[in-house]
């Protein structure tokens, strides 16, 4: 959770033009994301967006009521486990986990 928020902030700092900043990801947000990701393994769909689809043949209210599509995508996009500022020089051995 912490490194995901740091990585998102680093992304914002690199942008040339300011963009709308989203709130930090909280522990409940991260736990909800993990629950949804695990649940997706039991209800396979063709594409990720289908889990939030409102089409009658695809609709499952569990996903949309648990977390918004934008919230899930935000965490997925910035999910990060290692602190980039602590990365060693090229050639040095480094275990990112």
Q: How far apart are CA 79 and CA 57, in angstroms?
A: 30
Reported as a single tens digit per residue, the pLDDT across 24-82 is 999 999 999 999 999 999 989 999 999 999 999 889 899 999 999 999 999 999 999 87
Alpha-carbon Rg of the chain, whole angstroms?
16
Task: Please tell me what DSSP assigns to residue 47.
Answer: S
21: pLDDT strictly greater than 90 = no
Q: How far apart are CA 21 and CA 12, in angstroms?
A: 8
């Amino acid at each position: 959770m912490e490194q995901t928020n740091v990585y998102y902030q680093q992304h914002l700092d690199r942008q040339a033009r300011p963009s709308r900043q989203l709130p930090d990801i909280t522990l409940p947000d991260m736990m909800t994301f993990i629950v949804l990701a695990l649940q997706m393994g039991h209800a396979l769909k063709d594409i990720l967006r289908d889990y939030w689809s409102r089409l009658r043949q695809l609709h499952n209210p569990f996903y949309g009521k648990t977390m918004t599509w934008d919230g899930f995508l935000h965490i997925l996009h910035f999910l990060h486990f290692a602190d980039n500022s602590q990365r060693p020089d090229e050639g040095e051995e480094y275990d990112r986990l």
